[in-house]
Structure 1
Amino acid sequence: MLSTRVNKAYRLQLKSVVRQTSTTPDAKSIQSPNPSKISSDMIGPPDPVSNLRKIIFKKPDNETYLEERYRKLRMEVQEWNHNFWAQHNSRFFEERDLYLKNNLPEGKANLTADEMSVFYKAFLDKNWKTHLTYNKEWYKRNLTLLGLAIQVRITKLFRTKESK
């Protein structure tokens, strides 16, 4: 429910920005919302290459050093994740197109799923070590984020108790 509201708000804001910037929307002409002026984190549409949805993290007015560190690390992890999947997917599509070019019989529009499975298996086998390295790094980064998130929550809990 919250995700739907956030997505709607983000799309509305993007439409507003597009209307203000040009009559023909260009992905590069759309500016991201200002993190200190939004009321909550905003989730954007899927990236055409990485297929990941960019999140614009709200910057609270009274953000503590720990909260800022957590927010910036989340942004860094998101960017790292986006870069990995953008490179991976670009490689995948290039290699798939090359495979189709070399293996598509004349007069045929597509290969069957069974015929394509040869390519998929070869691609996964070739990139096995890359995926393993990515997964290890992803777990490390997310455990670090989890530790910071717990620290932020505990700090907020004590700050709330002190203010009462």
Structure 2
Amino acid sequence: MQSSARRLSAPLARCSRRHIHCSASARDLVGPPDPVSNLRPVYYDDPLPAPEAKPRPRLRHPYSLREFSDPDVSTAEPSIHDLELQYKLLRQQTDAFNHAFWTDSNLRFESAKATILQSLPSSSTPTDRDTALTHFYQQWLNQESARQEEYTAEWRRRNWDGIVLAARLEYAKLKAKFSGAGADSDA
């Protein structure tokens, strides 16, 4: 018992000796499926990023580094805050796009299916019902294929945009880490 307690406390002791900054991990939550779209909503744990204070260079430099960085210049790189905000908004927009598409598609599908079933005579057998639904399903797939292909192309484009934006964000964070942004010395 004592050895297991020692094993558990050893990583904590090493962590505190090294002065490692550990941040809380984000935990996104997945909700129950929507009754119409059948998609499970994701509740993201990362709040909108707070505006960052002007970073101060860590290293002493013979020239003023702020002299050459003008945020109003159109060619300036977006800040980490801007990239985080763009990434969060893109994820939310993609989720809303998916939800809207599948809600509309499923409502139209169920409505058309109900119309087919109501058009059958009351004396129809289960085999007649299955045959009518088989024809309906085939017709639905043929009718919706172009719309589905447009959706899939747009969905893939949005996902690639998200991957590229996430890579840009991580690169900006890495670049800021190595450039010394956020330190408290100036001159």
Letter in 2 for 1:95: A
Structure with the bigger RCO (C-alpha within 8 Å, sep 6+) is 2
Unaligned runs of 5+ in 1: 1-37
Asked if the contact 2:39/2:99 (under 8 Å) is kept, the reply is: yes
Q: Deviations over 1:48-97 (max 9, x none)?
A: 11011111222165572101110111001100110000000000000011
Distance 2:161 2:119 in 1: 45
Counterpart among 169, 174, 177 of residue 152 in structure 1 = 169
Q: Which TM-score applies when normalising by structure 2? A: 0.59
Are 2:106 and 1:118 equivalent residues in the alignment?
no
The aligned counterpart of 2:39 is 52
> How far is 1:139 from its partner?
1.3
Q: Which secondary structure state, in structure 1, belongs to the residue aligned with residue 37 of structure 2?
A: coil
The aligned counterpart of 2:73 is none
Q: Deviations over 1:105-161 (max 9, x none)?
A: 52646833x542211110111111111111111111111111101112222333445
Distance 1:123 1:131 in 2: 11
Unaligned runs of 5+ in 2: 1-24, 52-80
The aligned counterpart of 2:106 is 89
Question: Closer, same or farther in 2 for the Cα pair 1:40/1:62, shift >3 Å?
Answer: farther
Are 2:96 and 1:79 equivalent residues in the alignment?
yes
Q: Which secondary structure state, in structure 2, belongs to the residue aligned with residue 127 of structure 1?
A: helix
Q: Which secondary structure state, in structure 2, belongs to the residue aligned with residue 45 of structure 1?
A: coil
> How far is 1:104 from its partner?
5.6
The aligned counterpart of 2:151 is 134
Greater C-alpha radius of gyration: 2
The structure with the greater share of residues assigned to helix is 1
User: Cα RMSD between the aligned structures?
Assistant: 2.6
